[in-house]
Amino acid sequence: MAAEKKPVKITETILRDAHQSLIATRMTTEQMLPIIEKMDKVGYHSVECWGGATFDASLRFLKEDPWERLRKLRAGFKNTKLQMLFRGQNILGYRHYADDVVEYFVQKSIANGIDIIRIFDCLNDLRNLETAVKAANKEKGHAQIALSYTLGDAYTLDYWKQKAKDIESMGADSICIKDMAGLLVPNKATELVTELKKSVKIPIQLHTHYTSGVAAMTYMKAVEAGCDVIDTAMSPFAMGTSQPATEVMVEAFKGSQYDTGFDQNLLAEIADYFRPMRDDALASGLLNPKVMGVDIKTLLYQVPGGMLSNMVSQLKEQHAEDKYYEVLKEIPRVRKDLGEPPLVTPSSQIVGTQAVLNVVMGERYKMMTKETKAVLHGDYGQTAKPFNKEVQKKALGDEKPITCRPADLLKPELDKIKSEMNPEWIQQDEDVLSYALFPQVATEFFKYREAQQTGVDAKAADTKNGAYPV
């Protein structure tokens, strides 16, 4: 008897995570638009094309309006769902924003063309995701909650199963296992996906990076265990610190019950379009060949590749490169003191910087960064394990840490943000959100836009959703 057909669904990342991981998010809207018609014929589950670092990079480096990019992509993709990455209460910025800003951002993202919002928190504190999920539900968008996958005493199968159940009861439409450091190995993927499928009814998606070299094998085992969707990137921007290649995974499942049915000739045409961009990025030095290799240290030290390179540059600045291995040993100790958080933006930078300080100063916590103190104060939320009480006392003295959802302490701030802006800069409602997230960068962009006289296309801008909540 033939096995029941269960085609695996694919989210294509070339327009967001792939170029964010390999060429510092420098792909322009102009480079994306000519290939959209072909990409729209593939049959992807979704195309991830917005959020993450694309918003900041568009304004800061490319002098492009991210909202205009989204509208142009939406106009081109007639049959494919568009997806974005959203950092919970941080949105796409680097601090917690008040609920009214989070709600307005979600509403505007969906109004301008996003179908699926993947929402995550660096501590897996679900309280930091509540507002975004409710807003996505209200706007009839698909709210996907991503669990930041990591290893450690706290992260047992029971931990993941309980989180999955909590996510389902929060009203999320699907769950993503977000393996940002490439730590999920094939047999563990089988185990994790099998247990999650037993625990919840909503679909399970898997996102990983090729950093440690096991990602394609991990996908194979996850799909066999019942994983519904995987994230891949077209081959010119696949592998290394990006995702496994779309064409390779399509071929791997061909003829099996998980066959995607995608046309390899069409995928080859799409790859041909992106290949010169990769060649140009290599020639200009934008694509560093180092990020294309396998970094097995990721599995040995459980430290994401980006965190390692950051640490090396910090040690160079201090003329302390010889302390590299000492810092590597210190990272897990600091992580434990700070409640064993997953190492993803911004927790990876906080733990890494503190470990460097501890080693270079010759005394642990002689000097603490304000971010380390903020974690120990509870400003980022609740960690999987308790903090080291002595380290917390050293950081806070007699000050009491907070235990509530951090955003409960934030007053509505949308009106205040709008009043700080020069009214001349506001050509569309969305400009207020660009300014809310990156005040200086957005202001520089608004000045540039005025000087170039490249105003917003008023016909395309969202005007019917003027204010939130309605």
Question: Residue range 254-268: average pLDDT?
Answer: 98
Same fold, 9-289 and 303-403: no
- DSSP one-letter code for 148: E
What pLDDT was estimated at residue 468? 37
Which pTM does this prediction carry? Answer: 0.93
DSSP one-letter string for 273-330: HHHHHHHHHHHHTSS-GGGGS--THHHHH---HHHHHHHHHHHHHTT-GGGHHHHHHH
Fold of the domain built from segment(s) 9-289: TIM Barrel (3.20.20)
pLDDT at 310 over 90: no
Question: If pLDDT is split at 50, 70 and 90, which confidence band does 348 have?
Answer: confident
CATH superfamily of 303-403: Conserved carboxylase domain (1.10.472.90)
Choice among 26-40, 73-87, 334-348, 402-416 with the minimum mean pLDDT:
334-348
Do 259 and 253 form a contact (C-beta atoms < 8 A)? yes
What pLDDT was estimated at residue 231? 98
What pLDDT was estimated at residue 382? 97
Do 26 and 19 form a contact (C-beta atoms < 8 A)? yes
**pLDDT for 387-396, tens place per residue?**
999 999 999 9
Q: For a pLDDT cut of 90, what percent of the chain falls above it?
A: 83
pLDDT at 467 over 70: no
Domain ranges of the chain: 9-289, 303-403
Question: If pLDDT is split at 50, 70 and 90, which confidence band does 470 have?
Answer: very low
Q: Which two tokens stand for residue 147?
A: 């669990």
Question: Residue range 229-255: average pLDDT?
Answer: 97
Helices 430-437 and 439-452: crossing angle in degrees, nearest 10, is 130
Question: Residue range 70-77: average pLDDT?
Answer: 98
DSSP one-letter string for 395-449: HHTTPPPP-S-GGGGPPP-HHHHHHHS-GGG-SSTHHHHHHHH-HHHHHHHHHHH
Question: Residue range 287-297: average pLDDT?
Answer: 83
